[in-house]
Amino acid sequence: MMKLTREDFSMLPAWVGLNERTVSFFEWLTDGEAVPWKCGDSFLIKVRQRKDYFLYTGHGKGCVLEIGENLKFAGMFRWKDCGLYDVKEPLRELLSIPDEFDFPGKAGARKEAEEIANRKAFLLITRDWDAILQEARCEKEQMIPKITRSEIQKQAKEYDQAGKTEEEIRFQPEVPVVQYFSDHCYLLFLDNKEWVAERIARQWVLENVAYISRRRIWYGCIRNEFREIKKEAERRKQRK
């Protein structure tokens, strides 16, 4: 097992040198062995994900780890920055890391992924819509909304009264990233945010082509009616 020197601590994240347990934990993480780490009455195991690790806590009898349902996901370790991510409370308690010591979490990354995925999805349905339609091959009946002129007129008037512009009247995708953002996906996202978010966006668009088509047509009809309202208002203004 690698022993840390004073020079090592100056180049490592601050959590490593918090106490004897965190030092021993880091040495275990970086020793290249798959043996569980025993700490008090608990065990930690590390499961390799390419070059990084998923961490799990477990319990056992004596020096024997019980493998089964008692294993709980505890966090992630990235070799790239020697950082801990998505640290769960059992791991924090096991290592005696104070609450004020913050670690990047999955929720924050998911929010960032949503922002990127929404932008990527918008580009897909505006720039590459024809290619998406060819790939998805949905039935035409599923892609056309059931709408009435009165509904369109009502919505267009509401947009006009709210002071909206024509550019604001369009379908804005909201990709439910949480459905795709597994722990493995999260780890990939940390290394390549744009690529992962684009893959999520593309999968969601392909799975929801009919819905997206209906919403695009809906907003297109409202936009056309909105133009007519503006034109009529301009004509009335000129007649005065």
User: What 3-state class would DSSP assign to 36?
Assistant: coil
Q: C-alpha distances in angstroms, 161 versus 164, 171, 230?
A: 8, 19, 11
Nearest to 85 by CA among 93, 73, 69: 73
The pLDDT of 235-239, averaged and rounded, is: 82
pLDDT at residue number 8 = 73
How many Cα atoms are found within 13 Å in the side-chain-facing hemisphere of 106? Answer: 19
> pLDDT tens, 74-102?
999 999 999 999 999 999 999 999 998 99
pLDDT at residue number 34 = 81
Question: Do β-strands 52-61 and 37-39 pair in parallel, antiparallel, or remain unpaired?
Answer: unpaired
Residue with tokens 């106490």: 19
Residues belonging to the chain:
240
**At residue 61, does pLDDT exceed 80?**
no
> pLDDT tens, 33-58?
888 888 877 889 999 998 899 999 88
**At residue 65, does pLDDT exceed 70?**
no
- Cα(240)–Cα(1) distance, rounded to whole angstroms? 88
45 DSSP β-pair partners: 56
Q: Which amino acid is at 151?
A: E
**At residue 182, does pLDDT exceed 80?**
yes
pLDDT at residue number 67 = 58
Question: Phi/psi of residue 46, each to 5°?
Answer: -120, 130
The neighbour count for residue 202, using CB atoms within 10 Å, is 18
**At residue 69, does pLDDT exceed 90?**
no
Q: Over pLDDT 70: what percentage of the chain? A: 92
Taking the complete model, does pTM exceed 0.95, yes or no?
A: no
**At residue 225, does pLDDT exceed 70?**
yes
- Cα(192)–Cα(189) distance, rounded to whole angstroms? 5
Contacts of 9 (CB under 8 A, 6+ apart): 16, 17
**At residue 240, does pLDDT exceed 80?**
no
User: What 3-state class would DSSP assign to 1?
Assistant: coil
To the nearest whole number, what is the mean pLDDT of the chain?
Answer: 90
Torsion sign over Cα 71, 74, 78, 81: negative
pLDDT at residue number 139 = 87
